[in-house]
């Protein structure tokens, strides 16, 4: 397994942030839907829904970690083609050098970088949600 920090590049911050914000909004919607339609009033929104969604995110992070190691899920990863990132211009690092630089989207990342972004965004959400769910259940 490669070192995870060798995969990270500064231009991966934006895809990680976008995935985290998107997943946080979906997680919030799922927790609110659970509270509205599934809950019978026994558990608050911080106990069961937050713990369940946090555990799902941690499982998703684990699958992304396994993908970094080369393991593929048979029916999920079958149709994906590996595309390499385009060549980007490296300049003298002045303000003018970054004016024409293209912003890297998630689709342009290599499969390894996509898995890394997915893993980090799932960990950023799954860890705190699971801890909040466990603490709310104990208290």
Asked, for residue 104, whether it belongs to a domain, the answer is: yes
For residue 48, what are the domain limits?
Answer: 10-72+88-138
Question: What single DSSP character describes residue 39?
Answer: -
| Closest to 51 measured CA to CA, from 68, 69, 31 | 31
Asked, for residue 129, whether it belongs to a domain, the answer is: yes
- pLDDT at res. 77: 65
Asked, for residue 25, whether it belongs to a domain, the answer is: yes
Give the dihedral of Cα atoms 67, 72, 75, 77; nearest 10 deg. Answer: 60
Domains of the chain: total: 1
Cα–Cα distance between 40 and 126 in angstroms, integer? 24
Q: What is the pLDDT of residues 10-50, one digit of tens each?
A: 888 889 999 999 999 999 999 999 888 988 888 888 888 99
Helix and strand numbers, DSSP H then E, in the chain: 4, 0
Q: What is the pLDDT of residues 63-120, one digit of tens each?
A: 988 888 888 777 666 655 344 344 444 445 555 555 665 677 778 888 888 889 999 9
Q: What is the pTM of this model?
A: 0.75
Asked, for residue 2, whether it belongs to a domain, the answer is: no
For residue 5, pLDDT beyond 90? no
Asked, for residue 78, whether it belongs to a domain, the answer is: no
Asked, for residue 16, whether it belongs to a domain, the answer is: yes
Asked, for residue 17, whether it belongs to a domain, the answer is: yes
- pLDDT grade for 7, boundaries at 50, 70 and 90: confident
- pLDDT at res. 26: 94
Cα–Cα distance between 88 and 101 in angstroms, integer? 7
Asked, for residue 5, whether it belongs to a domain, the answer is: no
Token output for 27: 């997680």
- pLDDT at res. 85: 42
- pLDDT at res. 43: 80
């Amino acid at each position: 397994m490669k070192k995870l920090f060798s995969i990270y590049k500064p231009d991966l911050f934006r895809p990680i942030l976008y995935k985290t914000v998107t997943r946080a909004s979906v997680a919030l919607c799922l927790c609110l839907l659970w509270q509205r339609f599934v809950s019978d009033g026994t558990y608050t929104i911080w106990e069961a829904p937050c713990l369940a969604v946090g555990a799902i995110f941690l499982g998703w992070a684990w699958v992304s970690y396994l993908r970094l190691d080369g393991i593929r899920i048979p029916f999920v990863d079958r149709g994906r083609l590996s595309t390499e990132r385009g060549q980007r211009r490296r300049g003298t690092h002045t303000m003018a050098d970054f004016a024409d630089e293209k912003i890297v989207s998630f689709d342009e990342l290599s499969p390894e970088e996509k898995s890394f972004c997915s893993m980090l965004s799932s960990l950023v959400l799954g860890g705190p949600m699971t801890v909040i769910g466990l603490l709310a259940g104990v208290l």
